[in-house]
Structure 1
Amino acid sequence: MRVVDSRRLTGPNIHDRGPGAVAELRFAAGFDPAPWIEAWKLALARGLRHLEWTGARLHVRRFRDLQGRQGAELMFTAPVDRLYAATDLNEWAIAEATRHFSPHAHEADTSAPSLESIATAAAEEQEERAGLLALLERAEALGVPALVDDDQLSLGYYDQSVHWPLRG
């Protein structure tokens, strides 16, 4: 199994209408990814419980790439104010699933962050973006389009939009 890409999704995307984290994977020829994907789901559920993140929706999209290799996109929804931590959590769950299927499962993967460090990063990220979720909920209630990226929050579209920096 090889991770091709791991990234945040800051809004509506091919998998869900909400933000989240996604990882794109490729599997070796002849490998049945179904049990591995189930192991990822179990690990992710454990991580979500540890972080006390409720309501996450999981999405798995399996495919064959242009070279005929099996692949999958593993996505779950996450709070927009904690997407970096969500990406770390997805990578942690991938490492856990891989460790489950590895002949050297007892050897620790030091490249994946621990759940404790992810929890700390999530709290710091949420504090840095304090109030963002409340603003987004209010905008949605009023029917005002809202877009978020690394640097700013935008409410409205085109010449009617107003922008605020996310970092002070």
Structure 2
Amino acid sequence: MRLLDSRRLTGPGLLLDRAGAVLDLELTDAERDRVLAAWRAAAGQLLDAVGWRGETVAVRAFAGGASVAFTAPSDALYAASELNEAGWAWAQAELAGAPPPDLTALAHTLRATIAAERKPELLALRDAARERGVTFLHGEEQVSVGSGRGVRVWPDHAIPSPSAVDWTQVHDVPIALVTGSNGKTTTVRLLAAMAAAAGRVAGITSTEGVSVAGRLIDGGDYSGPSGARLLLRQPEVEMAILETARGGLLRRGLAVERAVVAVVTNVADDHLGEFGVQDVETLARTKLLVARAIGTDGRLVLNADDRVLVGAARELTQPIA
């Protein structure tokens, strides 16, 4: 057994429906059940000890390993990762026949770590944005509400109270998510060209960078959550088109909570094996995470010729085009 990765989940993913902490483990089939049982017991005790009794614990097992996770307050995800790692160390000690850790001392240390990280003002602003149905983003030492023409941005150290925000000036621009195994960047460019032809200022993210109305903001692979945040904080954007790669969805989760449309081009058997995604059916479920951002007035656009994608979409309730 071996710990492969410890990471924060900042949005909905395959394991959790909101922020949390995830461990990726390498396990043999013979040891999997007892290892996961030991981690569940240890993580459960630690969650109780720090006052996180209402959090959801999740396990996804697959050939050769597993991912173990729990939800956590989004302003304490580094501390949550430390708690998850402590639970793993406890499970390892138990399986090796070593004495358990001093729970009182360990809980004291973890509570102090949580207290040092917590930002109640961050959660207050997030909740106020959700109540008003506008985008909330946190990352790159900034916090923002709204998007594009309706965005307001503050540094991490100067988060305002909700009552200090002029919410009449905060709104969202239309957001489109584009994912799939092939054709993502091409689809993003096509949508941007359509928006430009209609006289709209379109911003895009892709594996080639972030640009607004054809002007490059920054080059590189921005098909993950950091690219989404960078683009949605550009105040000239009237429409945002976000390339949403499999890697970002699996590592960090969905970058935004709402979009007016999501496009899934296709599902092919590439990149299998990463993050425990070992078959195209699981890959299809990963790509279809973008559907969680679509409300009843939005649209999910799928490739009707892709048998696996169509089959996976039967479980969805979002409007499909």
Q: Where on the TM-score scale, by shorter chain, does this alignment land: which range?
A: 0.7 to 0.9
Tell me the equivalent position of 2:136.
146
* Aligned-partner Cα distance in 1 for 2:96–2:60: 23
Tell me the equivalent position of 2:110.
118
Tell me the equivalent position of 1:67.
none
Do structure 1's residue 97 and structure 2's residue 97 form an aligned pair? no
- Normalising by structure 1, we get a TM-score of 0.83
Matches within 5 A, 1:48-59: 48-59=47-58
- 1:43-68 C-alpha deviation (Å, 9 max, x unpaired): 1111111111132111111123xxxx
Q: Which has the larger radius of gyration?
A: 2
Q: What is the RMSD of the two structures over their aligned residues, measured on CA atoms?
A: 1.9
Tell me the equivalent position of 2:67.
73
- Inter-CA distance 84–144: structure 2 relative to 1 (3 Å threshold): same
- Normalising by structure 2, we get a TM-score of 0.45
- Inter-CA distance 17–160: structure 2 relative to 1 (3 Å threshold): farther
State the 1:107 CA deviation: 8.3
> Percent same amino acid among aligned pairs?
35
- Inter-CA distance 99–158: structure 2 relative to 1 (3 Å threshold): same
Unaligned residue ranges in structure 2 (runs of 5+)? 159-321
Task: Identify the structure with bigger relative contact order (alpha carbons < 8 Å, sequence gap 6+).
Answer: 1
State the 1:150 CA deviation: 5.0
* Aligned-partner Cα distance in 1 for 2:100–2:145: 48
Amino acid paired to 1:145: T
- 1:101-134 C-alpha deviation (Å, 9 max, x unpaired): 114x1387xxxx93221111101111xx231111
- Inter-CA distance 62–146: structure 2 relative to 1 (3 Å threshold): same
Kept in 2, the 8 Å contact 1:10–1:148? The answer is: no
* Aligned-partner Cα distance in 1 for 2:128–2:30: 47
Kept in 1, the 8 Å contact 2:58–2:69? The answer is: yes
Kept in 1, the 8 Å contact 2:46–2:83? The answer is: yes
* Aligned-partner Cα distance in 2 for 1:114–1:91: 12
Unaligned residue ranges in structure 1 (runs of 5+)? 65-69
Number of residue pairs matched? Answer: 155
Tell me the equivalent position of 1:38.
37
State the 1:71 CA deviation: 0.8
Tell me the equivalent position of 1:8.
8
* Aligned-partner Cα distance in 1 for 2:140–2:114: 15
